[in-house]
């Protein structure tokens, strides 16, 4: 029996990582199998078919539950299938209050697919708890938030929202992709469901697409398990195995992402060619006080607009050399994105503008490289902006 580790950095290295009982392998084996041979009719060794469960996936789920401090975890094939699994627990006619600034794929799922199956959505700026309270209707069954949001980095007060939701008998679901449990502990602040795109910081190396849903509610977790089996949006054993390797260094990476991003955000804010910077670690950010209270550090995501507008932003994004012009975020490499044409291209332009996501917005996922090189790259790219 291994002794329970006490501190986050220890849990990140050890959760789900007990030595293999047959060989002593320090890295849990990869069970790349579709099925399992039964000992006799009706007698399994706990596994019968990988869509239902797989030992490598079980280890990943144990590790994710360990770092998030949750009783239960179900891993999915992508962040989007994890969001979908949560929403599929609702019935036709149910209503959801959601953060207005969510990943474009999330609003696409809500507006173009789930709305055709009888769910309805109201989007509000959840940094204002009173707006959430006003949006709740008799048929509201879930409040869904991102904090910090993608891509505007708005910050919501989880404790205030959990209190408000619980007073009305509603669950609060938090997409913790941007902060990770290394920096933000939604369950300790009262959240009922935590969802992750493990594609991002949790795996951290741009190698896999994955998702997860965590909860302390056994009955809700059974619904997630049922969906893994009934719908089959499950991650491959190899992707689970890679995700676990990445997760071991999560605390170290988040520390570096955060310290680099704070320096880059301050540098951008002082730059004459930059009009606006949004980073929860900056005192100028409207959610700074809440972020400071509920987060350990401010993570690696920054968004900003150039003073000379859209064309200048385009020149910058086309001129970076170290930073990769790419869709994703949260990996060791610095990545730069144009939300209006990339991650949020499917959000109707009027909706984008209404929520403050302008055509000129640039999103930067600050990597773990030497921050001097990240700044030098932005500097040479900004020098090309007229």
Is 200 noted as a catalytic residue in this protein?
yes
Going from the C-alpha of 334 to that of each of 271, 323, 374, the distances in angstroms are 19, 5, 8
Q: Is position 148 an interface residue for ligand PLP (rule: CB under 6 A)?
A: no
Give the separation between CA 153 and CA 49, rounded to whole angstroms.
41
In the region spanning residues 99 to 128, those forming contacts with ligand PLP, defined by CB under 6 A, are 103, 105-106
The neighbour count for residue 125, using CB atoms within 10 Å, is 16
CB of 151 to ligand PLP, least distance (A): 9
Angle at 224 between CA 221 and CA 225, to 5 degrees: 90
Give whichever of 183 and 382 is closer to ligand PLP, judged by the CB atom: 183
CB of 196 to ligand PLP, least distance (A): 8
Q: What is the DSSP string of 158-223?
A: HHHHHHHHHHTT--EEEE-TTT-TTTB-GGGGT-SEEEEETTTTTT-SS----EEEEES-HHHHHH
Q: For ligand PLP, which residue of 50, 199, 227, 294 counts as binding (CB under 6 A)?
A: 199
CB of 154 to ligand PLP, least distance (A): 12
CB of 300 to ligand PLP, least distance (A): 13
Q: Is position 211 an interface residue for ligand PLP (rule: CB under 6 A)?
A: yes
x-or-dash string of contact with ligand PLP, 255-294, rule CB under 6 A: ----------------------------------------
Give the separation between CA 158 and CA 127, rounded to whole angstroms.
9
DSSP state at residue 2: P
Give whichever of 83 and 277 is closer to ligand PLP, judged by the CB atom: 83
**Catalytic one among 100, 175, 192, 377?**
175
Give whichever of 180 and 274 is closer to ligand PLP, judged by the CB atom: 180
CB of 79 to ligand PLP, least distance (A): 2
Q: Give yes or no for a contact between 264 and 381, defined as CB atoms under 8 angstroms apart.
A: no
Binding piece for ligand PLP, criterion CB under 6 A, among 76-84, 230-238, 297-305, 353-361: 76-84
Q: Is position 177 an interface residue for ligand PLP (rule: CB under 6 A)?
A: yes
Of 245, 262, 213, 232, the closest CA to residue 74 belongs to 213
Give whichever of 129 and 211 is closer to ligand PLP, judged by the CB atom: 211
Is 103 noted as a catalytic residue in this protein?
yes
Of 287, 81, 60, 335, the closest CA to residue 184 belongs to 287
Binding piece for ligand PLP, criterion CB under 6 A, among 44-52, 175-183, 314-322, 361-369: 175-183
Radius of gyration of the chain (CA): 21
Bridge-partner residues for 96, per DSSP? 121, 142
Q: For ligand PLP, which residue of 98, 107, 197, 294 counts as binding (CB under 6 A)?
A: 197
Q: Is position 156 an interface residue for ligand PLP (rule: CB under 6 A)?
A: no
Interface with ligand PLP: number of residues (CB under 6 A): 15
Give whichever of 287 and 382 is closer to ligand PLP, judged by the CB atom: 287
CB of 258 to ligand PLP, least distance (A): 17
CB of 199 to ligand PLP, least distance (A): 4
Q: Is position 78 an interface residue for ligand PLP (rule: CB under 6 A)?
A: yes
CB of 21 to ligand PLP, least distance (A): 32
Give the separation between CA 267 and CA 277, rounded to whole angstroms.
10
Is 123 noted as a catalytic residue in this protein?
no
Is 141 noted as a catalytic residue in this protein?
no
Strand (E) or helix (H) holding 259: helix 250-270
**Catalytic one among 9, 47, 51, 351?**
51
* Distance in angstroms between the alpha carbons of the first and the last residue of the chain: 64
Q: Give yes or no for a contact between 282 and 148, defined as CB atoms under 8 angstroms apart.
A: no
Sign of the torsion angle spanned by Cα atoms 125, 130, 131, 137: positive
Give the separation between CA 284 and CA 63, rounded to whole angstroms.
36
| Angle, in degrees to the nearest 10, between helices 79-87 and 218-231 | 120
Of 198, 200, 228, 193, the closest CA to residue 211 belongs to 198
Q: For ligand PLP, which residue of 16, 28, 66, 79 counts as binding (CB under 6 A)?
A: 79
Q: Is position 17 an interface residue for ligand PLP (rule: CB under 6 A)?
A: no
| Interface contacts to ligand PLP, rule CB under 6 A | 78-80, 103, 105-106, 146, 150, 175, 177-178, 197, 199, 209, 211
Catalytic residues: 51, 103, 175, 200
């Amino acid at each position: 029996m291994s002794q329970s580790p006490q501190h986050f950095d220890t849990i990140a290295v050890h959760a789900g990582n007990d030595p293999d009982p047959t060989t002593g392998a320090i890295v849990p084996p990869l069970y790349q199998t579709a099925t399992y041979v039964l000992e006799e009719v009706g007698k399994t060794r706990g596994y019968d078919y990988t869509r239902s469960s797989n030992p490598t996936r079980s280890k990943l789920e144990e590790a994710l539950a360990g770092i998030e401090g949750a009783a239960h975890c179900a891993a999915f094939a992508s962040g989007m299938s994890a969001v979908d699994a949560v929403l599929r627990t609702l019935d036709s006619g149910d209503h959801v209050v959601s953060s207005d600034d969510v990943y474009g794929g999330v609003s696409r799922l809500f507006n173009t697919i789930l709305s055709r199956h009888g769910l309805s959505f109201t989007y509000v700026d959840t940094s204002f708890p009173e707006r959430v309270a006003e949006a709740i209707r008799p048929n509201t069954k879930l409040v869904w938030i991102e904090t910090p949001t993608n891509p505007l980095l708005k910050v919501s007060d989880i404790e205030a929202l959990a209190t408000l939701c619980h007073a009305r008998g509603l669950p609060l679901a938090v997409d913790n992709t941007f902060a990770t449990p290394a920096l933000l502990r939604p369950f300790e602040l009262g959240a009922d469901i935590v969802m992750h795109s493990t594609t991002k910081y949790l795996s951290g190396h741009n190698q896999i697409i994955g998702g997860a849903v965590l909860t302390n509610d056994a009955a809700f977790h059974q619904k997630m398990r049922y969906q893994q089996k009934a719908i089959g949006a499950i991650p491959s054993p190899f992707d689970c195995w890679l995700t676990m390797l990445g997760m071991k260094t999560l605390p170290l990476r988040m520390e570096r992402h955060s310290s680099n991003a704070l320096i880059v955000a301050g540098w951008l804010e002082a730059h004459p060619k930059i009009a606006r910077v949004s980073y929860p670690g900056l005192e100028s950010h409207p959610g700074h006080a809440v972020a400071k209270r509920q987060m350990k550090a401010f993570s690696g995501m920054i968004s900003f607009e150039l003073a000379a507008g859209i064309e200048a932003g385009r020149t910058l994004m086309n001129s970076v050399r170290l930073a990769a012009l790419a869709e994703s975020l949260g990996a060791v490499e610095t990545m730069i994105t144009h939300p209006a044409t990339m991650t949020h291209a499917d959000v109707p332009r009027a909706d984008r503008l209404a929520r403050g996501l302008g055509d000129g917005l640039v999103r930067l996922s600050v990597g773990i490289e030497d921050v001097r090189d990240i700044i030098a790259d932005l500097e040479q790219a900004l020098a090309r902006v007229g």
